[in-house]
Chains A and B, each alone.
Chain A
Amino acid sequence: AQKVTQAQTEISVVEKEDVTLDCVYETRDTTYYLFWYKQPPSGELVFLIRRNSFDEQNEISGRYSWNFQKSTSSFNFTITASQVVDSAVYFCALSDLLDSNYQLIWGAGTKLIIKP
């Protein structure tokens, strides 16, 4: 069965520090997508990135970067020079066909607190 594990329940850092949020997934499918979403205190879900299983290139978007490693089934998210506005809960999610029928399987989320 599919599973997404975000082992870090809460991370607290001081502004301008770099921080990495871990995500480990399990799936039997060879075709799947991985996602990161941000949920600020206001509650909405903000899409950050989608990566398919055939594309292992790392991606950088401004201060955000993602490291996808199929060998370790991980899709980690790094924020460089963190800012207070980055404080939010971050969710990693998996979508595949086998068993889940395209539903998103969510990790439990990591609450990130950036202190000024």
Chain B
Amino acid sequence: DSGVTQTPKHLITATGQRVTLRCSPRSGDLSVYWYQQSLDQGLQFLIQYYNGEERAKGNILERFSAQQFPDLHSELNLSSLELGDSALYFCASSVAEALSGYTFGSGTRLTVV
């Protein structure tokens, strides 16, 4: 157990729907990062939050949004889902900035049908 908790582990939904992925960071970590891994591909950075504030944005679609709450857990909202959004979504956390690396959750596998 890495200490980073992601729920749900698996999610199957239909095109056009909206889903919310949840991440609880490791205790004491202030930064949360979201990554997307499509089938047989590397990880793409989506967005980073630090202590409740958005810190950096990567290749995140406008249909996607995220937030970090006062208790530091984060949610990634995916709307108007398309087949191509099917992927593994990873959350990672770190104490502050992640220059020295961070801890990943086990991921949420999203399947859009």
A interface residues, Cβ below 8 angstroms from B: 31-33, 35, 37, 43-45, 47, 50, 52, 91, 95-97, 101-104, 106-109
Among the listed stretches B18-26, B69-77, B104-112, which one makes contact with chain A, having 4 or more residues with CB under 8 Å of it? Answer: B104-112
Complex interface: chain A residues within 8 A of B107 (CB): 43-45
In residues 28-69 of chain B, which contact A (Cβ within 8 Å)?
33, 41-45, 48, 55-56, 58
What would 8 A/B residue contacts be, using CB atoms closer than 8 Å? A32-B99, A33-B99, A45-B104, A47-B104, A91-B43, A101-B97, A102-B99, A104-B101
Interface presence of B98 (CB below 8 A): yes
Q: How far is the CA of A95 from the CA of B102 in the complex (A)?
A: 10
Nearest CB in chain B to that of A29: its residue: B99
**Interface pair A95/B104, CB less than 8 Å apart:** no
Q: Which of A32, A43, A107 meets B42, CB within 8 Å?
A: A107
Interface presence of B79 (CB below 8 A): no
Chain B interface residue number, banded: 20 to 34
**Interface pair B48/A33, CB less than 8 Å apart:** no
**Interface pair B106/A104, CB less than 8 Å apart:** no
B interface residues, Cβ below 8 angstroms from A: 33, 41-45, 48, 55-56, 58, 88, 90, 97-104, 106-107, 109
Besides A47-B101, A101-B55, 10 other CB < 8 A contacts? A33-B99, A43-B88, A45-B104, A95-B99, A96-B99, A102-B98, A103-B33, A104-B33, A104-B98, A104-B101
Q: How far is the CA of A116 from the CA of B103 in the complex (A)?
A: 32
**Interface pair A103/B104, CB less than 8 Å apart:** no
Q: How far is the CA of A96 from the CA of B58 in the complex (A)?
A: 15
Complex interface: chain B residues within 8 A of A109 (CB): 42
Q: How far is the CA of A96 from the CA of B107 in the complex (A)?
A: 24
**Interface pair B98/A95, CB less than 8 Å apart:** yes
**Interface pair A103/B56, CB less than 8 Å apart:** yes
With A108-B42, A109-B42 already in contact, the answer to whether A101 and B56 are too (CB < 8 A) is yes
Complex interface: chain B residues within 8 A of A96 (CB): 99
B92 to chain A, nearest CB (A): 8
Complex interface: chain A residues within 8 A of B58 (CB): 103
